[in-house]
Amino acid sequence: MSILSLRNVSRRFGGGEALIGIDLEIDRPQVIGLVGRNGAGKSTLLRLLPPFIHASSGSVEVLGMDPWADPIALRGRMGYVADQDVVPAGVRGRDLLALCASVYPRWDTTLIQTFQRRLGIDPNQLFSSLSRGQQRQLALLMAIGHRPELLLLDEPAGNLDPAVRKEVLGIIIELLNESGTTVILATHLLSDLERLAERLVILSHGRKVHDGSIEDMTRDLCRIELAPGIIDLGGLAHSQLLLAQERHGLATVLILACAPGDAGAVVAGLAGPGAVVLDAKGMTFEEAFIYRTRDLPAVTTAAARL
């Protein structure tokens, strides 16, 4: 049974498109990092699944089901932590956990009490009196207490200090190992993804621009420095290998979509004779994310004197 299948999914709001032609298949338990800049479509994609919103076009299948055919049954097999918590005034943590226990037949009170002690959450406090970080922790407990098959996390570690964030990530890993839960984690904290995610899906302006491992993402990107001189970048620009051009003092720095070891041959084959490679380096995860999701200006194809 497929865990998740999105086929050519788009979602429009008014005159704009939040998602455009998304294809995504998940067929085994794993942790998937869902990343992109603000407005890329991450939260919209997650909200299609419980489901809270309809896709404008395309097909959505979750745990072998049409989400709108039986949403109550589906939500009993899923956990969801939204990027913002909406809880009525006067509600205590224990009230929220008791409500979850009454809704989910598979609610594991022992599991919740164990994690509650580890996180230091006082269930007798009003939800509104908890810190933002404690509210996020409680929301996570509410989402995992029934040991869901699919766990959707939208910025779950926001406003958590590093020590607590490490504890939260440890809980997610334990749940994955013990229950075979598939986790889709949308976050801006790239360091967390490096520790946790087996697979990375990047959205940019509503489109999927990467789907693979972190190593895949960084493997074919490099930063090269060219010696000063008259450089014709026309061939590189038309090959679509040139992602960006920068000035560092007198040097020209290029971001290329190729492995560092291939940079010399690429430049020799597609740039003018004035392009001499002084240095070629691979890119970090954060650098690769920035260049794969940035709005790139048009690169001039004329010769530049630097």
Q: Does the structure show a pLDDT above 50 at 301? A: no
Range among 106-115, 130-139, 268-277, 297-306 with highest mean pLDDT value:
106-115
- pLDDT of the residue at 302: 32
How many residues are recorded in the chain? Answer: 306
Query: In the predicted model, what is the mean pLDDT of residues 64-93?
Result: 90
pLDDT-based confidence at residue 69 (cuts at 50, 70, 90): very high
Which residue type does 112 have? I
Q: Does the structure show a pLDDT above 50 at 306? A: no
Query: In the predicted model, what is the mean pLDDT of residues 148-177?
Result: 84
Q: Which two tokens stand for residue 79?
A: 């956990």
**Domain range summary for the chain, segments of one domain joined by +:** 4-212, 220-305
Residue 278: Cβ within 10 Å count: 12
**115 burial class (0-12, 13-18, 19+ CB within 10 angstroms)?**
buried
CA 167 to mean position of chain CA atoms: 20
- pLDDT of the residue at 296: 43
- pLDDT of the residue at 13: 92
- pLDDT of the residue at 274: 74
Give SS3 for 83. Answer: coil
Query: In the predicted model, what is the mean pLDDT of residues 15-38?
Result: 93
Contact call for residues 143 and 183 (beta carbons, < 8 A): no
The pTM (predicted TM-score) of the whole model is: 0.85
* φ and ψ of 26, to 5 deg: -125, 120
The H-assigned helical ranges of 131-284 are 132-144, 162-179, 190-196, 214-219, 234-239, 263-270
User: When comparing pLDDT for 146 and 132, which is higher?
Assistant: 146
Query: In the predicted model, what is the mean pLDDT of residues 274-283?
Result: 87
Strand duo 78-81 + 57-62: pairing: unpaired
**88 burial class (0-12, 13-18, 19+ CB within 10 angstroms)?**
exposed
- pLDDT of the residue at 145: 94
Q: What is the DSSP string of 20-38?
A: EEEEEEE-S--EEEEE-ST
Q: Does the structure show a pLDDT above 90 at 83? A: no
Query: In the predicted model, what is the mean pLDDT of residues 67-95?
Result: 90
Alpha-carbon distance 5 to 150, whole Å? Answer: 13
Query: In the predicted model, what is the mean pLDDT of residues 179-185?
Result: 92
Question: Considering only CA atoms, which of 19, 12, 54 is closest in space to residue 34?
Answer: 19
- pLDDT of the residue at 191: 82
**What integer best gives the mean pLDDT of the chain?**
87
pLDDT digits (tens, 9 = 90+) for 208-247: 999 999 888 888 899 999 888 767 777 777 777 888 888 8
- pLDDT of the residue at 295: 62
* Range name among 69-73, 85-89, 110-114, 147-151 with the lowest pLDDT average: 85-89
Alpha-carbon distance 234 to 232, whole Å? Answer: 6
Q: Does the structure show a pLDDT above 70 at 300? A: no
- pLDDT of the residue at 173: 84
Question: For the chain, what percent of residues have pLDDT higher than 90?
Answer: 46
* φ and ψ of 228, to 5 deg: -60, 145
* Range name among 19-33, 210-224, 244-258 with the lowest pLDDT average: 244-258
- pLDDT of the residue at 126: 94
4-212: which CATH architecture? 3-Layer(aba) Sandwich (3.40)
Q: What is the DSSP string of 35-57?
A: E-STTSSHHHHHHTTTTSS--SE
